[in-house]
Homo-oligomer: A and B are copies of this chain.
Amino acid sequence: MQLPFEIFRDPRAMRAKAEDLRRDGRRIAVVPTMGALHDGHVALLRAARGKADVVILTIFVNPTQFGPQEDLSRYPRDEAGDIAKARAAGIDLAFCPDAAAMYPPGSQTFVEVRALQQPLCGASRPGHFAGVATVVAKLLNIVQPTRAYFGQKDAQQSVVIRRLVRDLNLPVEVIVAPTVREADGLALSSRNSYLTPEQRAAAPVIYRALTVARERFAAGERDAGALREAIRGALATEPGLSIDYVSVAEPMTLRELARVEKTALASTAVRLGATRLIDNLVLGAG
């Protein structure tokens, strides 16, 4: 039975609707986003569609995960366009609250994933993952899905969310879907829209650098320091790019490795002008 498409803005109304659906035995899948949907999001929506009775898209540009100097105010917003794309991908409902609905006066509870929120992006974005963990916990409680979909592009986010779901005993399965890339390898990101044509032309070096590490790993390199150096070396060929971090870490704990025994998460964050971009590849998987 097809649900009439509806956009919910009130958390209580959304939760009441989700409770009704659950009571009717419907399996809910959710794709939490900050909007500005690209083909990576659409891939998540299609994956969700395959396994659920009801697919809910959430769009919420969450202020608590932005630092004071970050791009909250200029983050791209296009709700009508997003809803059109998502409906074409088969969603049933959307949840698009505003900040006042999600954080009414007096709000002060934060979910902290204490170790995993520290390294990598956490080091240059203090408070970011507490903001992410908190809003994801809230969204999951409101939407009450059996499955929640996230993209591998945000690797640390996925690890943080898997951990909080396990640690807080949330009744949801976390699905992490592969990164979707442009033809030249650049990982899709809503922030790619900030790039000037020159920066856009330089940006594929990020994926190429990670690919160098993957090739070195495939050729037998197991020294994590050498793999990090290989990534740094490849990134250095683009003079307009500055490196935030280059990491070869254990994929679950995100601890930097000295040697790669089986698998590793090779990841990097760079800046092209004012735009910060991240990407990663898992070495030794599959």
Residues of A within 8 A of B (CB): 11, 15, 19, 22-23, 25, 106-116, 133-134, 137-138, 141-142, 144, 163-164, 166-171, 252-253
**A144 to chain B: which residues have CB within 8 Å?**
171
Known: A11-B169, A19-B171. 9 other contacts (CB 8 A): A15-B171, A22-B22, A23-B23, A106-B253, A108-B167, A109-B114, A109-B167, A112-B112, A141-B171
* Complex CA–CA separation, A112 to B171 (angstroms): 21
CB distance from A102 to the nearest CB of B (A): 9
CB distance from A13 to the nearest CB of B (A): 12
CB distance from A14 to the nearest CB of B (A): 9
Cβ-defined partner of A109 (8 Å) among B23, B111, B171: B111
**A142 to chain B: which residues have CB within 8 Å?**
169
* Complex CA–CA separation, A253 to B134 (angstroms): 21
Cβ–Cβ contact A164 & B112, under 8 A: no
**A22 to chain B: which residues have CB within 8 Å?**
22-23
Known: A141-B171, A169-B142. A109 touches B109 (CB 8 A): no
Chain B, Cβ-Cβ closest to A164? B109
Cβ–Cβ contact B138 & A168, under 8 A: yes
* Complex CA–CA separation, A133 to B110 (angstroms): 10
Cβ–Cβ contact A107 & B167, under 8 A: yes
Most chain B CB atoms below 10 A, which of A108, A110, A113, A169 = A169
Chain B, Cβ-Cβ closest to A103? B167
**A137 to chain B: which residues have CB within 8 Å?**
168
* Complex CA–CA separation, A166 to B113 (angstroms): 20
**A113 to chain B: which residues have CB within 8 Å?**
108-109
**A134 to chain B: which residues have CB within 8 Å?**
168
* Pairs A-B, 3 closest by C-beta atoms: A109-B167, A141-B169, A108-B114
CB distance from A109 to the nearest CB of B (A): 3
Cβ–Cβ contact A168 & B111, under 8 A: yes
Cβ-defined partner of A163 (8 Å) among B11, B19, B109, B138: B109
Most chain B CB atoms below 10 A, which of A109, A142, A168, A171 = A109
Cβ-defined partner of A138 (8 Å) among B15, B112, B115, B169: B169
